[in-house]
A and B are shown apart, each in its own frame.
Chain A
């Protein structure tokens, strides 16, 4: 079954610093990949998704992610962190060698702390 691994359950950055949240997927066939964000006391919402049209995907709030097949990675970045970016971020995957493109599997999440 397809899965994703998120390195680092907690990441702290200073306001204005680069944000890098790591995600690696396990599939020999490029799956569909997603990043979701969960702000405190709010439901999960989509940040961006990879659809194979372009390896660099731009999302909301200045976030972007790059699909690297050679590294089986889909890391999330933002050039300059803002206090409002403090949230929990989840990488997710669907599809793979056995199909199952309707089932979306989530990683364990990375909680981002932004220090003023």
Chain B
């Protein structure tokens, strides 16, 4: 168990640029989640996958955000035309996907700063 890995750890970009983050879940974990966390707030749900299928996407999520999980392994989260309001910590979590109340294993996150 090497844990959930997220890359990069930090990303600084200029407004209007596109950014992509990567998440490698724990091996054999079927569920993968993306959350966003800003200072003083709890993690905000963005989307989750069961294997390669994206089963739910937050209605608050702009269409500038897209996530993929090809082959049900790693996942990428892309933000197009970044805005200053996108600055946040982006967290990835995974779980085995066998039960309904499973523990989520979180990565250390990618800190995005949009200038």
B101 beta carbon closer than 8 Å to chain A: yes
Q: Tell me the residues in window 9-33 of chain A with beta carbons closer than 8 Å to chain B beta carbons.
A: 9, 32
Measured in the bound complex, the distance between the Cα atoms of B93 and A103 in whole Å is 12
Which of B33, B41, B100, B106 is in CB contact (< 8 Å) with A45?
A: B106
B77 to chain A, nearest CB (A): 17
Interface residues on A, range: 20 to 34
A94 beta carbon closer than 8 Å to chain B: yes
Stretch with Cβ within 8 A of A (4 or more), from B19-27, B48-56, B65-73, B79-87: B48-56
Are A103 and B43 within 8 A (Cβ)?
Answer: no
Q: In the complex, which residues of chain A have a beta carbon less than 8 angstroms from the beta carbon of B93? A: 44
Stretch with Cβ within 8 A of B (4 or more), from A63-71, A73-81, A105-113: A105-113
What 8 A-B pairs have minimum CB-CB distances, sorted nearest first? A106-B42, A32-B101, A101-B100, A44-B106, A43-B106, A46-B103, A106-B43, A109-B42
